Amino acid sequence: MYALLYRSRARPGLLASDLNHIIETAEARNSDLDVTGLLLYGQLAVVPGAPGEFVQWIEGTEEAVEGLYAEIATDKRHFDPEVLARGPIRELQGANGAFVPSGRLFPTWSMGLVRLSELPATLSGFLEFARDWDRQVATMA
Ligand SMILES: Cc1cc2nc3c(=O)[nH]c(=O)nc-3n(C[C@H](O)[C@H](O)[C@H](O)COP(=O)(O)O)c2cc1C
């Protein structure tokens, strides 16, 4: 299993309906591609009109992930994409990564959307967020 993590800036004026549209498309296409992952959208609520940001983790085969990212990167609804990490998930997780049987961090999410005020914009920050998130979901279930 291979993954790619990137960050980007949302197009100014992006609406909640745009986000919903992105997720609807993503869920359908990612299912076809056997891709899973998480899209984080951040906007500092304390600053009115503050531009939003994205951090997205995409996982699947290398071919599917890189092909999809090449498309996403040209999407006009965001700009300045910057890859934070890419490679086999085992390697990205490092020696301290929790054991995940499928190798995927989000096996049941074709593409989840989470809104946060502050985004984890590094690989280690994201992995920490993902571990906590996993625990929260487990507690809710
Ligand atoms: C931040 C962001 C994340 C996206 N994530 C995905 C995704 O995970 N999967 C996907 O198929 N499309 C995703 N898209 C949408 C694609 O860029 C593209 O619009 C989509 O693949 C459909 O292409 P089409 O609009 O030409 O039909 C994302 C777009 C943005 C702006």
* Type of residue found at 113: L
> For the chain, what are the domain ranges?
2-140
Cβ atoms of residues 125 and 131 within 8 Å: no
| Residue 64 pLDDT level (bands cut at 50, 70, 90) | very high
**Whole-Å CA distances, 39 to 47, 74, 95:** 22, 16, 25
Our answer on whether the CB atom of 104 is closer than 6 Å to any ligand 1 atom is: no
Q: Which of 41, 10, 63 is nearest to 111 (CA)?
A: 41
The overall longest dimension of the chain from CA atoms, in Å, is: 43
Q: Which of 102, 110, 65 is nearest to 87 (CA)?
A: 65
For a mutational test of ligand 1's pocket, the pick from 21, 25, 39, 58, i.e. the residue with the most ligand atoms closer than 8 A to its C-beta, is 25
pLDDT in tens, 23-62: 999 999 999 999 999 999 998 666 777 789 999 999 999 9
**CATH no. for 2-140:** 3.30.70.100
| Residue 13 pLDDT level (bands cut at 50, 70, 90) | confident
